[in-house]
Amino acid sequence: MKKSRLLTLMAALMLVAVMAFAVGCGSDDSSDSSSSDDISSELITEGTLTVGSDIPFPPFEFGKAPAYDGFDIDMVNEIASRLDLDVAIKDTSFDTIFTDVAQGKFDVVASASTITPDREKTVNFSAPYYEAEQALLVPEGSDIATVKDLDGRTVGSQDGTTGEAYANDETDAGSVRGFPNGPAAIAALKAGQVEATIIDQPVAQDAIDKGQTGFEIATVIPTGELYGLAFAKYTPSIIDSVNGALDDMKGDGALNDIYQKWFKIDAPKSVLGSTGADSTEESS
């Protein structure tokens, strides 16, 4: 009888041990699953945030490799620092930049990119970090003063941008000529290759502030655009981590400091009031 009870007790203890081992294995599996979702498993290069950007597009990105500078550059450097990552900037054409990140050539795109429904078919965007409008540039003394005056005219813009889309879709321009980057579109206007150019307003203003002449801003086109960082859709951990760092920068004033450095203005409420959680809801 005692022997039977002893065997029963031993069996019970063995069952408890097996169950504990099974639970432990289950915890390990959960931990492995969690770690597989960590940002490091999604990065192209371990320990490095690989960033695609169309350079030059001052004041957002400009300079020579590897010493790039600009609003976007400062922002991604700060984000990467908060995530304990290095940064590698890859210069690429804006015309293909969203396809490139979707195909895994970069971890993120930081290139003054307007968030649009059409682009969201290819990539996911972060929460907005900049509010922009378009500017209509014309030669000094031009008779073009409004968008309506573009009827039948030759209009320049940067390839693949919302400025190019606006010129094609919202004006009666005779023709729209695309150029590889913002400075090239401005240079074409100054050289008389086009009669007007539509480009992001901060880019136009930066050129004027730096002393460029031969053109002026005829009018600002109120498009209410918001810039966001772009990601491949299959990198949720990168998106969440970058959005978290960006949210923190909005909350602790770091993003505002970058605004002040480059534009001498405070970050607008339309940017500061939008978080990564909002962008996740919009993308879902």
- Residue 132: how many other CB atoms lie within 10 Å: 18
What per-residue confidence (pLDDT) applies to 280? 56
Lookup result for tokens 């978080």: 275
What per-residue confidence (pLDDT) applies to 26? 41
Nearest to 197 by CA among 142, 146, 151, 138: 138
What per-residue confidence (pLDDT) applies to 18? 39
* pLDDT tens over the chain, length 284 residues: 444 444 444 444 454 443 444 434 443 433 333 333 488 899 999 999 999 999 999 999 999 998 999 999 999 999 999 999 999 999 999 999 999 999 999 999 999 999 999 999 999 999 999 998 999 999 999 999 999 999 999 999 999 899 999 999 999 999 999 999 888 999 999 999 999 999 999 999 999 999 999 999 999 999 889 999 999 999 999 999 999 999 999 999 999 999 999 999 899 998 998 787 666 555 44
Round to whole Å and give the CA distance between 260 and 266.
6
**Same-fold call for 41-129+228-283 versus 133-224:** yes
Round to whole Å and give the CA distance between 162 and 166.
6
Helix (H) or strand (E) holding 62: none
Quick check: helix, strand or coil at residue 256? Answer: helix
Q: Could you confirm whether domain 133-224 is CATH 3.40.50.2300?
A: no
Helix (H) or strand (E) holding 1: none
What per-residue confidence (pLDDT) applies to 25? 42
On the 0-12 / 13-18 / 19+ scale of CB atoms within 10 A, 134 is buried
Nearest to 71 by CA among 80, 60, 79: 60
Q: Could you confirm whether domain 41-129+228-283 is CATH 3.40.190.10?
A: yes
**Is residue 160 within 8 Å of residue 200, measured between CB atoms?**
no
Q: Which two tokens stand for residue 169?
A: 């879709």
What per-residue confidence (pLDDT) applies to 275? 81
What per-residue confidence (pLDDT) applies to 274? 79
pTM over 0.85: no
Q: Which two tokens stand for residue 175?
A: 């023709």
What per-residue confidence (pLDDT) applies to 38? 81
Going by the DSSP 8-state scheme, the letter that residue 212 receives in this structure is -
Q: Where are the domains of the chain?
A: 41-129+228-283, 133-224
